[in-house]
Chain A
Amino acid sequence: MRPSTSPLRELMGKRDFYAGGLMVLLGLGIALKGTSYRAGTLMHMGPGFLPTALGVLLVLLGIAIAVAGMSSTDGSAEDQNLLPEYPQWWAWFCILMSPVCFIFFGRYFGMIPATFSCVLIAAVGDKNATWLGSIILATVITIFGVALFSYFLQVPMPILTWKGAP
């Protein structure tokens, strides 16, 4: 089934190759940045010692993951795709936008608009969502949430404001 062309291409198709690659990149970044802090000696360790060591370790683990992924033969059973079968770009976007809305509306307009927009945008991400249903859900959560967090738990965030303190 698998187009058995060059070994490199086969490697590129494996998820573990990317998984290992990501770890190598992260490790390199951590280790390089870590060298800018004082490493000290083993007896008197500086702030840079442990993070740099962890970064190097992460690079090695990343290589190990990629190599193990390359050598494994049972990989066919596992999900090798980077994206799921049905990518949910719109839903993902909505879920990630939800905290962004919360920050924006919360900072400038207060808790009610923040809550409402946060729930609304997350709700419209579902493929079966209707505008009406999402608005009703957002309204219910807003009433409940403001009552719980503002009145009961006294979270210091204005309920409704106009261009509040940035």
Chain B
Amino acid sequence: MIGTAVTDLWYGFGVALEPHNLMFCFIGVLVGNMVGVLPGMGPLATISILLPLTFGMKPVAAILMLGGVMYGAQYGGAICSILLNLPCHPPHAVTCLDGFPMTKQGRGGVALGLTVFASFVGASWGITEMVFLSPLLVRAALQFGPAEVCSLMLLGLLAGSTLARGSPIKGVAMTVLGLFLGSVGTDLETGSERYTFGMTELDDGIELIALALGLFGIAEFMSSVNQVAPINTKYTHVTFKDMRPTKADMKRAFFPMWRGTIIGSLCALIPGTGPTIASFVAYATEKKISKHPELFGTGLIEGVVCPEAATHSSVQGDFIPTMSLGIPGDAVMALLLGALMIQGIVPGPQLISQHPDIFWGLVASFWIGNIMLVLLNVPLIGIWVKMLAIPYKFLYPSAMFFVCIGVYAANNDFFQVGEVAAIGLFGYILLRLGFHPAPILLGFVLGPRFEENFRRAMLISRGDMLVFIERPISAVFVGLCVILIGSQLYLRLKGSKVAELNVDDDATTGVTDDRKIPVQLAGQRVPVTPAE
């Protein structure tokens, strides 16, 4: 088994090192890294904006580039957290707690240097996991009939919506809404039109790009316009020299880094628990096992490397269910899967055997991309730091143009531009009502396949719903769904708030241990005012 994995990986490196693919991988990580640094732009918005650019590309190049954007943005987000105390992207919110105090002590460079290193270790572990686990999962998944696929999707959707940020019921409501939006357009089996209201432009369904850019582009701009605090660049003078950690730092960071990596990879295996949860759990664990937990929040290197390693390990691990089962764990993965579908590639267990160039090329490009990021981050840190100062008032109008032209270029049709505006307004209303729109995308991408498999399962079982619990593998998935719902209800009735972690929200004071921030707070644009 190891032998075949190595041969396949070798083949993957062959694909990823083709000059054409290498170039797009480089563009991807560069843009991702750059945009990740910019406060107020997340990986979701970036990938949606870049998605139209990939239409003319070959599928391999497209997915390598979009994948690169995704993990590149993770590297960038850490810079923002450590130097500015701004949790631009949810997974990096905990990094602020110890990262920013380190910056104030003049050790921001060391924090960044070790973060890059820890991220690389975490990512490498996640990739290794992907190399060995995906083929195993595929072998199991190829035995699945429509009933199993259906219950597995149900589990993925439930986990994705209840374990993510915010209230679980609202998350489920968003998923249901997404499933519905996925059913708009021509019905695949009967050819009749649904919910098009006579608009022929809607026959092909709602455009994925319009949905993504509306929800994560326009709605986000509406909620952050004029709300973004001016950025304090007082501590952002970091040079290459500052980044070299001392031997003592390395020694202290070594074990936390590995602990974070393991926690991240475990979180990646549970569907729905993405990098955000991984980093929070990693920080909490590190604090718990530390000999001096009271020092956390005052600038401990352990508190920086552990969550960062966890984030990266989990980000790479999230690709496992996405690529091998075709079931995305979060909205970013759903978007990447959507990009593959636009290229005409059907996601699912057959993907690895039918398109080995995509799968193994992607795996190999992860390593290449991560090495590129390490090399990029070290000399370019000065430029990234300068980019932090780009004001939001220049950022969002430019992004608006990319939104409009990107949606237009998808079909060369102005109708979709109107669609994106309408979805943006609707998305903002949802945001104001306390919904997190990310599960919509999850439901939307899985919706048509869910319906298809559900119908097929019902046809095979002659309309007997019991098929889902009569087939053993399917029964396990249904059982897990029940456990998931049951535990959520139980926690709700108990009034316990597990989502809240005992981390203090103001890293600058660092002593008030009793203050709590809920995980939601790690969401978009917390109005954290930079100290002083």
B195-A107 in contact (CB<8A): no
In the assembled complex, how far is the CB of residue B445 from the closest CB belonging to chain A, in whole angstroms?
Answer: 15
A30-B180 in contact (CB<8A): yes
B143 in the interface (beta carbon within 8 A): no
Q: A42-B465, A88-B226 are in contact. Are A61 and B433 (CB under 8 A)?
A: no
A45-B192 in contact (CB<8A): no
A51 CA to B183 CA in the complex, in Å?
7
A153 CA to B404 CA in the complex, in Å?
15
Interface size class of B (residues with CB under 8 A): 35 or more
Instruction: Report A102-153 residues with CB < 8 Å from chain B CB.
Output: 102-103, 106-107, 114-115, 118-120, 122-123, 125-129, 133-134, 137-138, 141, 145, 149, 153
Name which of B35-43, B110-118, B292-300, B411-419 contacts chain A.
B411-419
A118 CA to B512 CA in the complex, in Å?
47
A65 CA to B408 CA in the complex, in Å?
36
Q: A65-B173, A99-B421, A157-B412 are in contact. Are A129 and B190 (CB under 8 A)?
A: no
A95-B176 in contact (CB<8A): no
A118-B455 in contact (CB<8A): no
B435 in the interface (beta carbon within 8 A): yes
A55-B401 in contact (CB<8A): no
A91-B226 in contact (CB<8A): yes
Task: Find A84's partner among B400, B429, B432 (CB 8 Å cutoff).
Answer: B432
Instruction: Report A16-50 residues with CB < 8 Å from chain B CB.
Output: 16, 18-19, 22-23, 26, 30, 33, 37-38, 41-48, 50
B463-A43 in contact (CB<8A): yes
A99-B392 in contact (CB<8A): no
B442 in the interface (beta carbon within 8 A): no
Question: Which of A23, A41, A102, A155 is packed against the most chain B CB atoms within 10 Å?
Answer: A102
Task: Find A45's partner among B172, B222, B455 (CB 8 Å cutoff).
Answer: B455
Task: Find A57's partner among B176, B401, B414 (CB 8 Å cutoff).
Answer: B176
B454 in the interface (beta carbon within 8 A): yes
Chain B window 403-436, contacts with chain A (Cβ cutoff 8 Å), 1 for yes, 0 for no: 1110011001010011011001100110011110
In the assembled complex, how far is the CB of residue B471 from the closest CB belonging to chain A, in whole angstroms?
Answer: 17
Closest residue on chain B to residue A78 by CB atoms: B434
Q: A100-B421, A115-B401 are in contact. Are A122 and B396 (CB under 8 A)?
A: yes
Q: Which residues of B contact A30 (CB under 8 A)?
A: 180, 195
Instruction: Report B254-282 residues with CB < 8 Å from chain A CB.
Output: none
A129 CA to B464 CA in the complex, in Å?
62
Closest residue on chain B to residue A142 by CB atoms: B401
A51-B195 in contact (CB<8A): yes
In the assembled complex, how far is the CB of residue B215 from the closest CB belonging to chain A, in whole angstroms?
Answer: 14
Q: Which residues of A contact B179 (CB under 8 A)?
A: 50, 54
In the assembled complex, how far is the CB of residue B505 from the closest CB belonging to chain A, in whole angstroms?
Answer: 12
In the assembled complex, how far is the CB of residue B463 from the closest CB belonging to chain A, in whole angstroms?
Answer: 3
Q: A58-B173, A95-B222 are in contact. Are A103 and B465 (CB under 8 A)?
A: no
Chain A window 74-96, contacts with chain B (Cβ cutoff 8 Å), 1 for yes, 0 for no: 00001100111010100110011
In the assembled complex, how far is the CB of residue A103 from the closest CB belonging to chain B, in whole angstroms?
Answer: 5
In the assembled complex, how far is the CB of residue A16 from the closest CB belonging to chain B, in whole angstroms?
Answer: 7
Residue total for A at the interface (Cβ-Cβ under 8 A): 72
Q: A19-B433, A51-B195, A96-B424 are in contact. Are A86 and B226 (CB under 8 A)?
A: yes
SS of A interface (majority): helix
A3 in the interface (beta carbon within 8 A): no
A156 in the interface (beta carbon within 8 A): yes
Closest residue on chain B to residue A102 by CB atoms: B404
A15 CA to B433 CA in the complex, in Å?
6
Task: Find A138's partner among B53, B396, B397 (CB 8 Å cutoff).
Answer: B397
B170 in the interface (beta carbon within 8 A): yes
B19 in the interface (beta carbon within 8 A): no
B183-A50 in contact (CB<8A): yes
A134 CA to B421 CA in the complex, in Å?
21
A61-B172 in contact (CB<8A): yes
Task: Find A61's partner among B169, B225, B429, B464 (CB 8 Å cutoff).
Answer: B169
Instruction: Report B130-167 residues with CB < 8 Å from chain A CB.
Output: 167
Closest residue on chain B to residue A104 by CB atoms: B414
B221-A19 in contact (CB<8A): no
Q: Which residues of B contact A118 (CB under 8 A)?
A: 400-401, 404
Chain B window 41-84, contacts with chain A (Cβ cutoff 8 Å), 1 for yes, 0 for no: 00000000000010010000000000000000000000000000
B476 in the interface (beta carbon within 8 A): no
B398 in the interface (beta carbon within 8 A): yes
B412-A83 in contact (CB<8A): no
A91 CA to B425 CA in the complex, in Å?
13
Q: Which residues of A contact B167 (CB under 8 A)?
A: 65, 68
Closest residue on chain B to residue A123 by CB atoms: B397
B170-A19 in contact (CB<8A): yes
A149-B409 in contact (CB<8A): yes
A117 CA to B463 CA in the complex, in Å?
55
Closest residue on chain A to residue B214 by CB atoms: A99
Chain B window 186-218, contacts with chain A (Cβ cutoff 8 Å), 1 for yes, 0 for no: 010110101100000000000000000000001
B417-A16 in contact (CB<8A): no
In the assembled complex, how far is the CB of residue B31 from the closest CB belonging to chain A, in whole angstroms?
Answer: 13
Give me 4 other A-B pairs in contact (C-beta within 8 A), A51-B180, A95-B400, A118-B401 excluded: A47-B189, A47-B192, A61-B173, A102-B417
Q: Show the binding face of A for B, using Cβ within 8 Å.
A: 15-16, 18-19, 22-23, 26, 30, 33, 37-38, 41-48, 50-51, 54-55, 57-58, 61-62, 64-65, 68, 78-79, 82-84, 86, 88, 91-92, 95-96, 98-100, 102-103, 106-107, 114-115, 118-120, 122-123, 125-129, 133-134, 137-138, 141, 145, 149, 153-157
Q: Show the binding face of B for A, using Cβ within 8 Å.
A: 53, 56, 167, 169-170, 172-173, 176-177, 179-180, 183, 187, 189-190, 192, 194-195, 218, 221-223, 225-227, 392-394, 396-398, 400-405, 408-409, 412, 414, 417-418, 420-421, 424-425, 428-429, 432-435, 451, 454-455, 458-459, 462-465, 492
A and B contact pairs by CB, cutoff 8 A, 21 listed: A15-B433, A23-B177, A43-B458, A47-B189, A48-B194, A58-B177, A61-B169, A61-B173, A65-B170, A65-B173, A91-B226, A95-B218, A96-B421, A99-B421, A102-B404, A102-B405, A119-B401, A122-B396, A126-B392, A149-B405, A157-B408
